[in-house]
């Protein structure tokens, strides 16, 4: 058994104190948590063939998780008749996978890239929208001169910073080069529910191409800071899930841990249903997190 398999078996066995599952309802609310990690030793990639361009996830309808509420919509406060906001990123201190994330940080051969958690309603696939997942270190990329494909065509949906002429005195002599800011991990997860919960992951992992990876056609994208060719790997996978169970989606270079559990939002009360003193008391008390 490989070190990765032993580590993941240990992680999946970590006991977690979890709430009792809520009864099934239409568009029920859930807490969603993801941990993305990578292997430190990528020498094994040389034993497989990897496409030069793995394509990119469809980001057209993707929802971007928000770190803070919009100014036009204040934070949810119980008793004021406001609805909870979906896709609000949660502080790590209140997440269920913080122990798992810390275990990955201590693992000698694994390195966590990001840990995200939010709450959202989950229903039928026809009504679902994917959630954007991106993070880790960022690479400022330029196109290798011998390739004619512009970055905008090679990386649709990713963040092209600018397309300006570079200085004629630049170290590599490149002119009119596009530059794109590419996160280490970028893509989407789609969450749906019918009889079971389902997660559909479509993630691209970008990393400096290992020296052991010998290819007739080199990677067409270059990290402009350190002049390293970038290898892009794609994970497209689906899992049927049960709530409150930790699930693993794997790839030879990186992996994704997914955990979903029912969440019961605080009850919404009509304005005026409480006296001012009672409302103030409720606002000052901790919110109900579905425990």
pLDDT digits (tens, 9 = 90+) for 104-132: 989 888 899 999 999 999 999 999 999 99
The pLDDT of residue 162: 45
The two structure tokens encoding residue 223: 């990290």
pLDDT tens-digit map of 43-78? 777 777 788 778 889 999 999 998 755 555 454 444
Q: What is the pTM assigned to this prediction? A: 0.72
The pLDDT of residue 217: 57
User: Taking phi first (over 0 means left), then psi (-120 to 50 degrees means alpha), and beta for anything else, what does residue 240 get?
Assistant: beta
pLDDT tens-digit map of 79-90? 444 567 899 999
Q: Is the pLDDT of residue 195 over 80?
A: yes
Closest CA to 179 of 149, 141, 145: 141
The pLDDT of residue 282: 45
Task: Count other Cβ atoms within 10 Å, centred on residue 85.
Answer: 16
The pLDDT of residue 280: 46
Chain length of the chain: 291
The pLDDT of residue 203: 96
Task: Count other Cβ atoms within 10 Å, centred on residue 236.
Answer: 15
The pLDDT of residue 187: 95
- DSSP H or E segment with residue 193: strand 179-193
Instruction: Please report how many Cα atoms fall inside a 13 Å half-sphere around the Cα of residue 42, on the Cβ side.
Output: 20
Name beta bridge partners: 66. 88
Q: What is the mean pLDDT of residues 196-219?
A: 79
d(CA 229, CA 207): 9
The pLDDT of residue 125: 93
The pLDDT of residue 272: 55
CA atoms 36, 39, 40, 44: torsion sign: negative
Q: What is the mean pLDDT of residues 153-175?
A: 50
Q: Is the pLDDT of residue 100 over 70?
A: yes
CA distances from 6 to 1, 128, 267 (A): 7, 35, 43
Torsion, CA 242, CA 248, CA 251, CA 252, rounded to 10:
-150
Q: Is the pLDDT of residue 17 over 90?
A: no
252 CA to centre of own chain:
18
Backbone angles phi, psi at 244, to 5 degrees: 65, 20
Least confident of 20-29, 59-68, 84-93, 137-146: 20-29
Is 227 or 243 the better-scoring residue by pLDDT?
Answer: 243
Name beta bridge partners: 142. 179, 222
């Amino acid at each position: 058994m490989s070190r990765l398999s032993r580590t993941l078996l240990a992680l999946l066995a970590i006991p977690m104190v979890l709430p009792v599952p809520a009864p099934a309802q239409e568009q029920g609310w859930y807490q969603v948590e993801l941990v993305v990690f990578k292997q430190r030793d990528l020498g094994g990639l040389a034993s497989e063939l990897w496409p030069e361009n793995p394509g990119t996830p469809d980001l057209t309808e993707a929802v971007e998780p928000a770190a803070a509420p919009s100014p036009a919509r204040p934070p949810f406060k119980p008793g004021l008749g406001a609805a909870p906001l979906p896709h609000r990123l949660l502080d790590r201190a209140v997440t269920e996978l913080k122990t798992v994330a810390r275990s990955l940080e201590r693992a000698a051969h694994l390195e966590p890239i990001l840990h995200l958690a939010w709450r959202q309603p989950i229903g039928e696939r026809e009504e679902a929208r994917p959630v954007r997942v991106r993070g880790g270190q960022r690479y400022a990329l330029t196109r290798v001169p011998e390739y004619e494909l512009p970055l905008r065509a090679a990386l649709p949906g990713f963040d092209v910073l600018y397309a300006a002429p570079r200085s004629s005195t630049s170290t590599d002599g490149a002119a009119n080069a596009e530059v794109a800011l590419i996160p280490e991990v970028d893509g989407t997860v789609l969450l749906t529910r019918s009889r079971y919960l389902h997660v559909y992951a479509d993630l691209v992992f970008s990393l400096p191409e290992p020296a052991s990876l010998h290819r007739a056609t080199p990677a067409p994208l270059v990290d402009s800071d350190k002049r390293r060719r970038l290898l892009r790997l794609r994970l497209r996978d689906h899992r049927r899930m049960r709530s409150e169970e930790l699930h693993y989606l794997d790839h030879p270079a990186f992996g994704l841990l997914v955990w979903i559990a029912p969440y019961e939002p605080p009850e919404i009360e009509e304005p005026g249903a409480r006296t001012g003193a009672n409302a103030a008391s409720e606002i000052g008390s901790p919110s109900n997190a579905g425990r």
